Structure 1
């Protein structure tokens, strides 16, 4: 295996470009086109499902054998217009699972049939000069925020004239900022940082003309934030899959913003024992900053792939992310560590050659460590 150079300039450039393309779940066509065009520039063959998931392929030297996949998601959190209020402002519902407290103050675009319209999400009591101390006692929740629209036809006291309708999508500005120290602040780093990592790895492998053993599918899903992401584009030919997603950083977590993180279990259960330990071994052998963690309130594309009936080994590799599903921050070193490990994984031999068969005998099936079995004489 070759430790390929990771182009950090390209990684940052493509990440900012991705962040500046709105893509809440259900409104992802634009980013699908962007990623497809980027894959075309890199000379990577790809197809698109009916709804827009992308399945690209890096060809391996072994034919008619088992395949692997690396999966990321293009969709982000967002909102949808729930009601046009008498005062001209909008009640909104969340797209994806996130707290309204992180929506407050967000600049947004409403995608009306007549074209995009700008606005700001505010708490119902948004001015201390008007409401006094009541601004500090208002509950948090989507029923306690509203969207102020930058439109003269939606000012209070006038007849409301608007093209905005119930069901229009609302996308929140990402506002990316990368510091000289390597910190990256933005909304929607989950999972556009993962997408940038995967494209950067693909670019490195192509430019270095790396020979990989088996076909590796690069899968970009579009409904992860609402739970059904990898139920499409992962087929029976994929025997093992590594998902790249964020690793939440918090006082009760092991993850940091500076490491690659192997998640051993999330709320849907443990990840594959052998594939997870393979990633850990690759990290140790190649000096990659790598740690383990368990996420109790988290699910990923792995869950939707398994729930769709795929008998696929799955593992989760995360970049450390502080303030997930809110005002997010990571560090370039974490992204590069994940990229290094993914590039090595793609070059590695299949975890188990017997996995090429949907059903096989017990011969060659792996063992997990066990305590010594005591034979009892009879």
Structure 2
């Protein structure tokens, strides 16, 4: 695969990262992804739940392969307008208050537009708060401070902000000269970029697929039911292209593609994992095989929902998952090489 598709993947990744999409608020980014698949000439539908299903063609419709990634991210939702005019929020997905303290954010009101704010510890000035160092960072002790002239609940409510409004955190995306990709929400928008690039590669090179292939860009993955529905008839194998875990006790680095053998729920299909490893070895792809201790995926919930499929999971190595995440362009290259090799 020509390296230009790696750079296309990064371009698409930056574009989807720039579109706020905390789980439950994904229409804008889903519409963007649909438009990109349609530009490439593919038939695309939006599921009732809001996911994106692209038909990439292929011959054998009774033994189809589905590649899945998700576009919903971590975020928060307003649960209370406080007496001081600031906002108490409830996390969406596995958001950790420690990882977003001091982060800029947007509040999406339902009827009066978007507002800027910052997620801060309550009473965040160290020159005032003698308990600053000892206070636990959680969603009881932190708040969103609005960048508006408000000092009371009434002031904030006059802006149209209310419980149930979504809070979107700044991804702060950057790619370094040394090839490191740093951003919130690489889980899993980096994989969405890669699937779009793989779809472009198939179209540009006029590659005929022996098996029918679908790309399924899910929503609600971060809360556990992204891939639970809308799997087309004939799909017998589903591979989640998500993030590869990087951390103590694991083999993967940000420069590799990770093949998951087991996560916190169950082992992945033996034949699929074996086939992925075989493809990586035969094509000189830099990979690792790992067990993810605290992890679940779209293919897990697809099985739990009763789908009779083989399942697997791969992804570019990502460090600091669910925080300010980091991967590398080499991890993207190796993941795309594995997709090319395995899906032949």
Does the aligned pair in 2 maintain the 1:221–1:230 contact within 8 Å? yes
Point out the structure with max Rg over C-alpha.
Answer: 1
Q: For residue 12 of structure 2, what is the aligned residue in structure 1? A: 14
| Residues 1:339 and 2:339 aligned together | no
Provide the aligned length of Structure 1 versus Structure 2.
342
TM-score (norm 1): 0.88
Partner Cα distance (1:280, 1:151) in 2: 54
Contact 1:253 1:294 in 2 (8 A): yes
Aligned to 1:374: none
Q: 1:108 aligns with which of 94, 101, 105?
A: 105
Given that residues 32 and 53 in structure 1 are in contact (C-alpha distance below 8 angstroms), is that contact kept between their aligned partners in structure 2? yes
Q: CA deviation at 1:45?
A: 1.0
Cα distance change, pair 53–138 in 1 and its aligned pair in 2 (3 A): same
Q: CA deviation at 1:157?
A: 10
CA contact (8 A) 1:235 1:310 kept: no
Deviation at 1:55, TM superposition (A): 1.0
Could you tell me which residue of structure 1 aligns to residue 313 of structure 2?
316
| Alignment partners' CA distance in 1, 2:274 and 2:143 | 47
Does 1:259 find its partner at 2:282? no
Partners of 1:219 and 1:243 in 2: how far apart?
9
Q: Which residue of structure 2 lines up, in the alignment, with residue 162 of structure 1?
A: 159
Separation in 2, partners of 1:236, 1:268: 25
| SS at 1:281 equivalent | helix
Q: Could you list the runs of 5+ residues in structure 2 that have no partner in the other structure? A: none
Distance 2:155 2:319 in 1: 44
Provide the C-alpha distance between the structure 2 equivalents of 1:260 and 1:19, rounded to a whole number of angstroms: 21
Q: SS of the counterpart of 2:248? A: coil
SS in structure 1 at match of 2:237: strand
When residues 157 and 223 of structure 1 are mapped into structure 2, their CA distance, relative to the original with a 3 A threshold, is closer
What secondary structure is seen at the aligned counterpart in 2 of 1:269?
Answer: coil
Q: Residues 157 and 238 of structure 1: is their aligned pair in 2 closer, same or farther, counting only changes over 3 Å? A: closer
Distance 1:91 1:21 in 2: 24
Q: Tell me the equivalent position of 1:37.
A: 35
Question: C-alpha displacement at 1:345, in angstroms?
Answer: 2.1
Structure 2 match to 1:357: none
Structure 1 residues 158, 27: closer, same or farther in 2, change over 3 A?
closer
Tell me how far apart the structure 2 counterparts of residues 37 and 129 of structure 1 sit (CA, whole Å).
50
Match of 2:229 among 224, 229, 232: 232
- Structure 1 position 158, deviation (Å): 8.1
SS of equivalent to 2:341: helix
Cα-Cα RMSD:
1.4
Secondary structure class of the residue paired with 1:130: coil
Shift in Å at residue 129 of structure 1?
Answer: 1.1
Q: Which of 96, 117, 124 is the equivalent residue of 2:122? A: 124
Displacement after TM superposition at 1:9 (Å)? 2.2
Residues 27 and 284 (structure 1 numbering): CA distance in 2 closer, same or farther, change over 3 Å? Answer: same
Per-residue deviation, 1:8: 2.5
DSSP-derived class of the 2:83 partner: coil
CA–CA separation in structure 2 for the residues paired with 1:237 and 1:20: 35
Query: Is the contact between residue 6 and residue 204 of structure 1 (CA under 8 Å) also seen in structure 2?
Result: no
Cα deviation 1:130-168 (Å, max 9, x = unaligned): 114x2110012111110001112x235985533100000
How big is each residue's C-alpha offset from its partner over 1:16-49, in whole Å with a ceiling of 9 and x where there is no partner?
1110000001000000100000001111111111
